[in-house]
Structure 1
Amino acid sequence: MVIKRSESNVMVSDGPLDKKFENLVEETLELWHVPGISLAVVDGEKTFAKGYGIAALPAVPMSPSTLFFAGSTTKAFTAAVMATLVEDNEKYPQVQWDTPIHQLIGDDFGLENEYATTHITIEDALSHRSGLPRHDQAYGATSSGKRATVKEMIHSMRHLPLTAEPRTKYQYCNLMFLVAAHIIETLTGSKIGDLMKDRIWTPLDMTSTFSDLQDAMNGKDDLAKGYFYSDSDASYHEVEWMELDQCAGAGNIISNVLDYTKWARATISKTTPFSSASLEQLLRARSIMGSEEPYTGSNMYALGWRTGVYHGQQFFEHTGGMNAFGAELILFPDIEFAIVAFANTAGTSNFVEQVLAFHLVDEKLGIPMTERFGWNKKNQAIITRGQHNSSHAKSILYPELPSPTLPPTLPLPSYTGTYYHPGYQNLTIYFDDSTKTLHADRSKSTWPEYFTFEHVSGEFFIIVTKAVGDYHALFPQVYPAEFRIRADGRVRQVGIRWEETMGEEKIWLDRVEDK
């Protein structure tokens, strides 16, 4: 067995990453059309790491030092930085897990109603139980044409509908981690990424971890390129790297598997740069996520970590997804075992990581082949269901229609114009004369979407979206839409069912009248 040491002084060797495992990696990458993956295993005092496939087409090989966007695995670091403030009762006595956010940043923070605004705490924000759902399509939207700042994004949250009472339901929400980052930056006067570096990365010797894209590009290690695979031409298409400023606290990390093993090992061994008491708080379950195979009982969400039980072993885990990148970090503290994996597509990367990570876990636990869970089958079913729902969206979303269907009240060009919602900002609808269809784009949002309106009946439409490089690249997202017309025959509003947890309710955007 060949053993060597990387530049970061982490042992790199075959171990469980043997030829048999390499064959599984190659098969799984091919199945899910992922160019490459970097993967590391922490097993007691040993670390094993390898790169497989391609980091950048046509031929830059993947390695354990290759850098990736780490996505939502960032959330555990945000919670950890918050823990350092909670610990510091001399300098920040006002910062406790149960402190209402409004007491710390005042009118910068607001939700749909006064009760939620004044009662939501730091703990609520970091455990996804604020009552605010994802509202990801509002994320980073702007009416000015410029990139929205974090503060502007937080201010717009007061206009986003809540879909649960506070502390009654788990609802994943990236925006709440922006709020956490804003709290930290407001109280300390420092950027969240700088604090992550000073308080966590530097003490753990994580020298290849960054919170700024340019810094990562200037580093000694190569940054992987992200791709999406197109069935239409059977080829990969490169996706532009994202800036990280709008992802502060929620997904603002670029790193590699070697650095992440240091974080994993410190968490397992309780040797983090903050106290064991704080680590216990970070890992304590707060929100019930629900049950799913192959886990025992309900999964729970702690503070920046998901936790549950797999074959009798408690785990702590988080996935991550950015435009054309996926991440997986899973820890089994009782057996001192962890897996870190980064890959360079969106959506399908996470499927590959899941298959490979749990194969390694099953090998470690000695799970018989006949008792192992079929991750590929599960994820292929997700894709099949999503593709079916997209291709049959009209009949699914509008099961009862008149026959024949009703024409739109007005000529389609009459529906064009700019529409505005204070949370979702501007949507400009235009008419394509060559195809006789309505279109719009959300190119200024953090996750851009491009809309095609398909008429259903009367004032009802479906919107079929095209998204480049993110999860919706696997199949189109489809939203029901409806227009409202004034008594004078002019269109006054468009309603779009962007947020699934709102049920039949839509986000209503008012038409901006021409001056």
Structure 2
Amino acid sequence: MRKEPLSSQLKGDGFTRLVHQTLDKWHVPGMAIAVIDGDDTWSEGYGYANIVSSTPVTPSTLFYAGSTTKAFTAAMIAKLTEDPTRDIEWGTPITQLLPDGFSLIDKSVADQITVEDALSHRTGLPGHDHASAHTNVRENVRRLAHLPMTAKPRTRYQYNNLMYVAVSHIIEIATGQWLGDSLARSFWLPLGMKNTYFSLDNALRGPATLAQGYYYLGWRSESQDEKAYREVDWMPLEEVSGAGSVITNVLDYTKWVRAFLRPQTFVEEKIFKSEETVRQLWEPRTLMPSDEPFIGPRAYCLGWRTGVYQGVQFFEHTGGMNAFGAQLLLVPKLQFSVIILANTSQTSNFAAQLLAFHLLDERLGVPKSQRFDWNQRNWSVIEKEQKRVADKINYRPPIYIQPTLALGQYVGTYTNAGYKDLTVYLDNGGVLRADRKDMTWPEAIEFRHVTGEHFLMVSEHHEDYGAFCPDVYEAEFRINVEGKVWTLGVAWERAMEGKKIWLQRT
């Protein structure tokens, strides 16, 4: 075990040097870290919240917290289950709570999906993130009725943000108020979280500085200048709702995390009636794939993941928004937690993961020779994704067939009730393109001809692995008997294993 208090190590040059080395390696401009160790709490900021103005990150700096929001959404449902005047339980079918606002492609399956299924990612619906649009919560929930399923309910873990949006809609219908107001009254105010927000406008009006999000140009060989970063616009949050709308700082998150480490706090503050309600949130519901360095299977609970690391059970969740990343790691047995927020997409998560588990290794006294190499693991994931994309882009069919029509005849707007519109146009250089600026995750798309009516859609975006390489989707146009293009199929969803989403030309 460690020979000195962890707080002493955190204040030392060794940890500070490791943080800066990690930020440099993953090209993350700034990061805030908080650590809870028993009764002690420590926090610090590193790097820049804004590069241009040289604004430093402090523990008070605000960041998008992404999918760590899901724990609040699940907790809000837990609070409603305690209210005997409301007909809401974990096993309540969503169609019962949203009789006119929720359905799936298979109506009989939709009738089976419960609140618990949605919160634990076991509905049978894959991610379909490309279907999420800049619109209101109600309209994004209605989009679910048109999205293909890839599993039977309760048979497979498939992470789905839109299902959390559906649960957000349930809460707003049940309470008659915006989810942000419900969370503030139910959790943030009782716990003293004064700098936590559910909308970009409210965060900008608050007293604390909101970090600027960035992506590093050098990953894509656009620049080899180590200071070459590009600002990414702050994301609107209306349509994301309970899937990822929280903006906060590490100081506020320590209050939220401490309540989970000491569940009686929720009862003392009259947030929940019973500690059993808190335990339900951490009950494993859906088995997840597992790999090193975790021991045995992992599981998704309700807004939390759980597993075993170095012989201790942990609970955690990551968050990723366009140019922001978050990491929460809790070990109840040790009364220990690490909270990290930073201002790039995906690379923030790689950096935060390494630092969070480094701190847990220090807390457990794991010898350095036995520690897992997170950098190596994450680089191998990146290289695998880059190879997948390169193989797609460089593929040449054994028989090449020219497009049936001139490229200008493929131009038009194509629509799908689940995936909205895709407007295809020719740029000034005669290249077929499409822009999806009105979607939650915006894309700039170039069509590259493969053979016949088959194209490859090369998508530029900033989230996830878009920092390292474009994404690619197979696309196919179909021509009717009149010799006109009438439909476009796009393999947006990987879980569909090559099957396409079909959009009709309007």
Length-normalised TM-score, structure 1: 0.93
Deviation at 1:15, TM superposition (A): 5.0
Distance (whole Å) between structure 2 residues aligned to residue 18 and residue 116 of structure 1 = 56
Following superposition of structure 1 onto structure 2, how do residues 178-327 of structure 1 map, counting pairs within 5 Å? 178-231=165-218, 232-233=222-223, 234=225, 235-270=228-263, 271-272=265-266, 273-274=271-272, 275-327=274-326
Distance (whole Å) between structure 2 residues aligned to residue 223 and residue 263 of structure 1 = 20
Distance (whole Å) between structure 1 residues aligned to residue 360 and residue 404 of structure 2 = 59
Deviation at 1:243, TM superposition (A): 1.6
Distance (whole Å) between structure 1 residues aligned to residue 248 and residue 111 of structure 2 = 36
Partner of 1:168: 155
Distance (whole Å) between structure 2 residues aligned to residue 18 and residue 287 of structure 1 = 40
Report SS of the residue matched to 1:481.
strand
The superposition leaves residues 172-225 of structure 1 with CA deviations (integer Å, 9 ceiling, x where unpaired) of: 000000011100000110111111111111111111111121211121211111
1:402 aligns to 2:398 (yes or no)? yes
1:493 aligns to 2:480 (yes or no)? no
Partner of 1:177: 164
Report SS of the residue matched to 1:203.
coil
What amino acid sits opposite 2:323 in the alignment? Answer: A
Partner of 1:6: none
Distance (whole Å) between structure 2 residues aligned to residue 279 and residue 382 of structure 1 = 35
Following superposition of structure 1 onto structure 2, how do residues 408-423 of structure 1 map, counting pairs within 5 Å? 408-423=403-418
Partner of 2:111: 118
1:363 aligns to 2:344 (yes or no)? no
- Between 1:344-353 and 1:51-60, the stretch displaced more is 51-60
Distance (whole Å) between structure 1 residues aligned to residue 435 and residue 66 of structure 2 = 24
Partner of 1:349: 348
The superposition leaves residues 217-275 of structure 1 with CA deviations (integer Å, 9 ceiling, x where unpaired) of: 12121111100010112301111111211111101101000110111111011122223
The superposition leaves residues 305-354 of structure 1 with CA deviations (integer Å, 9 ceiling, x where unpaired) of: 00000011101100001110000001000010000000000010000001
Query: CA 1:474–1:17 in 2, change beyond 3 Å: closer, same or farther?
Result: farther
Distance (whole Å) between structure 2 residues aligned to residue 119 and residue 353 of structure 1 = 38
Deviation at 1:402, TM superposition (A): 2.7
What amino acid sits opposite 2:101 in the alignment? Answer: D
Deviation at 1:473, TM superposition (A): 2.6
The superposition leaves residues 48-103 of structure 1 with CA deviations (integer Å, 9 ceiling, x where unpaired) of: 100001111131111111000000000000000110100111x21x1000000100
1:392 aligns to 2:391 (yes or no)? yes
What amino acid sits opposite 1:346 in the alignment? Answer: S
Report SS of the residue matched to 1:296.
coil
Report SS of the residue matched to 1:494.
strand
Distance (whole Å) between structure 1 residues aligned to residue 47 and residue 427 of structure 2 = 42
Where do 5+ consecutive residues of structure 1 fail to align?
A: 1-11, 141-146
1:454 aligns to 2:448 (yes or no)? yes
What amino acid sits opposite 2:244 in the alignment? Answer: G
Partner of 2:461: 467
Deviation at 1:149, TM superposition (A): 1.1
Distance (whole Å) between structure 2 residues aligned to residue 465 and residue 211 of structure 1 = 29
Deviation at 1:17, TM superposition (A): 4.1
1:80 aligns to 2:75 (yes or no)? yes
Distance (whole Å) between structure 2 residues aligned to residue 420 and residue 72 of structure 1 = 29
What amino acid sits opposite 2:275 in the alignment? Answer: S
Distance (whole Å) between structure 1 residues aligned to residue 465 and residue 280 of structure 2 = 32
Runs of 4+ with >3 A deviation: 12-15, 468-471
1:129 aligns to 2:122 (yes or no)? yes
What amino acid sits opposite 1:481 in the alignment? Answer: A
What amino acid sits opposite 1:265 in the alignment? Answer: R
Deviation at 1:117, TM superposition (A): 1.2
Deviation at 1:395, TM superposition (A): 5.3
Partner of 2:3: none
The superposition leaves residues 358-386 of structure 1 with CA deviations (integer Å, 9 ceiling, x where unpaired) of: 11000000111111011011111122222
Distance (whole Å) between structure 2 residues aligned to residue 406 and residue 268 of structure 1 = 63
Identity of aligned residues (%): 49
The superposition leaves residues 133-172 of structure 1 with CA deviations (integer Å, 9 ceiling, x where unpaired) of: 11000111xxxxxx41110111111000011101111100
What amino acid sits opposite 1:402 in the alignment? Answer: P
Report SS of the residue matched to 1:83.
helix
Deviation at 1:432, TM superposition (A): 2.2
Partner of 1:4: none
Partner of 2:505: 511
- What is the Cα-based RMSD across aligned positions, in Å? 1.3
Deviation at 1:433, TM superposition (A): 4.2
Partner of 1:46: 40
What amino acid sits opposite 1:308 in the alignment? Answer: G
Aligned length: 488
8 Å contact from structure 1 (residues 17, 49) kept in 2: no
Distance (whole Å) between structure 2 residues aligned to residue 261 and residue 124 of structure 1 = 29
Distance (whole Å) between structure 1 residues aligned to residue 454 and residue 159 of structure 2 = 30
Report SS of the residue matched to 2:483.
coil
Report SS of the residue matched to 2:99.
helix
Distance (whole Å) between structure 1 residues aligned to residue 25 and residue 199 of structure 2 = 33
1:62 aligns to 2:57 (yes or no)? yes
The superposition leaves residues 471-490 of structure 1 with CA deviations (integer Å, 9 ceiling, x where unpaired) of: 42321000011111111110
Deviation at 1:277, TM superposition (A): 1.0
Distance (whole Å) between structure 2 residues aligned to residue 13 and residue 57 of structure 1 = 29
Where do 5+ consecutive residues of structure 2 fail to align?
A: 1-5
